[in-house]
Amino acid sequence: MQRLADRLDLVNHWTGMTVRWFALIMVLLQFSVVLLRYVFGFSSIALNESVLYLHSGLFMLGAGYTLLVDGHVRVDIFYAGAKNRTKAAIDVFGYAVLAIPSMLALLYWTWPSVINSISMMEGAISVGGIPAVWLLKSLIPAFCILLIIQSVACLLRQIIALRSGVEDQGAQS
């Protein structure tokens, strides 16, 4: 199970290593947009939308990587002071009952819209914009799949921890 979890982690690791560049490109592009507008008096809707596309890609494709590195926000009402075994049990519940089913539901309910958008090659958001709304919508199933993959990897790790008798020494720092 550990090897499978490690292999699943690689999907989001490499995705994260790729999409992190979106942040730099987005900043440089936004700087260019501002420079072109206020220094040269030139404005482009497509250039503005490209920042939106990069921003969407960064967050939607980077969500699985964020889960991999435990960067998501937690509500630590019970979790913070819990013992390691309790934390593992809470995580198993969270991944098995909340994360994976909600991503499957989101995937199921958005799939027809995404397929419809791709089949008609849905055009620009604004006149003169990037004619690829279908590309933005295709980020939704990618987001779901990447989070499902990472949730399964995390779930497997927590099951391994519970089976191996994770230490009950109190909260981790």
User: In angstroms, rounded to a whole number, what is the distance separating the alpha carbons of residues 131 and 153?
Assistant: 36
User: In angstroms, rounded to a whole number, what is the distance separating the alpha carbons of residues 76 and 67?
Assistant: 16
pLDDT digits (tens, 9 = 90+) for 100-114: 999 999 999 999 999
Smallest CA-to-CA distance from 32 within 56, 45, 48 is with: 48
Residue 133's CB is within 10 A of a number of other CB atoms, namely 19
Single-letter residue type at 22? F
User: In angstroms, rounded to a whole number, what is the distance separating the alpha carbons of residues 153 and 147?
Assistant: 10
- For residue 173, the model assigns a pLDDT of 36
Cα→Cα distances 3→11, 88, 115, 137, Å: 13, 19, 34, 33
Per-residue pLDDT band at 166 (split at 50, 70, 90) = low
pLDDT at 16 over 90: yes
User: In angstroms, rounded to a whole number, what is the distance separating the alpha carbons of residues 89 and 168?
Assistant: 12
Contact 158, 2 (CB under 8 A): no
User: In angstroms, rounded to a whole number, what is the distance separating the alpha carbons of residues 27 and 102?
Assistant: 32
Please state the separation of Cα 55 from the chain's center in Å: 12
Side-chain-side CA neighbours of 67 within 13 Å: the count stands at: 29
Return the domain boundaries, the chain: 1-168
- For residue 168, the model assigns a pLDDT of 53
Specify the pTM.
0.88
Average pLDDT score over residue span 127-149: 96
User: In angstroms, rounded to a whole number, what is the distance separating the alpha carbons of residues 155 and 18?
Assistant: 24
Contact 142, 110 (CB under 8 A): no
Average pLDDT score over residue span 36-49: 94
